[in-house]
Amino acid sequence: MALVQTFEKQGNFLFKYRGQFPVILFLLAIPFIDITDYASISEVNERYYTIISVFLSFVGFLIRFYTIGTTSHGTSGRNTKQQVAEVLNSTGIYATLRHPLYLGNYLIWIGIATYVFNPLFILIISLIFWLYYERIMFAEERFLEKKFGDEYLDWSNKIPAFIPNFSNYKTSSIPFSIKTVLRREYSGVLATVIGFCFVEVLRNYVIGEELISNSLICVLIATLAVCLLLRTLKRNTQILHEKDRD
DSSP 120-144: HHHHHHHHHHHHHHHHHHHHHHHHH
The DSSP code sequence of 4-17 is HHHHHHHHHHHHHT
Q: Which amino acid is at 115?
A: Y
∠ CA 51-55-57, nearest 5°, is 125
CATH fold group of domain 3-176: Four Helix Bundle (Hemerythrin (Met), subunit A) (1.20.120)
Choice among 66-80, 100-114, 174-188, 207-221 with the minimum mean pLDDT: 66-80
Q: Which residue has the higher pLDDT, 111 or 84?
A: 111
Beta-carbon neighbour count of residue 53 at 10 Å? 21
In total, the chain counts a number of residues equal to 246
Q: Mean per-residue pLDDT for 189-205?
A: 94
pLDDT per position as a tens digit, 40-94: 999 999 999 999 999 999 999 999 999 999 887 656 555 555 566 667 788 889 9
Q: Mean per-residue pLDDT for 117-140?
A: 91
pLDDT per position as a tens digit, 132-177: 888 888 888 888 888 888 888 898 899 998 999 998 888 888 889 9
**What number of helices (H) and strands (E) belong to the chain?**
8, 0
Please tell me the distance from the alpha carbon of residue 58 to that of residue 66, in angstroms, as a whole number: 12
**In this model, does residue 123 exceed pLDDT 70?**
yes
Q: Which amino acid is at 135?
A: R
Residues 6+ positions from 4 with CB-CB distance below 8 Å: 142
**In this model, does residue 128 exceed pLDDT 80?**
yes
Give the HSE-up count for residue 44: Cα atoms under 13 Å, Cβ half-sphere: 0
Question: Phi and psi (nearest 5°) for 41?
Answer: -95, 120
Q: Mean per-residue pLDDT for 108-128?
A: 95
pLDDT per position as a tens digit, 212-238: 889 999 999 999 999 999 999 999 999
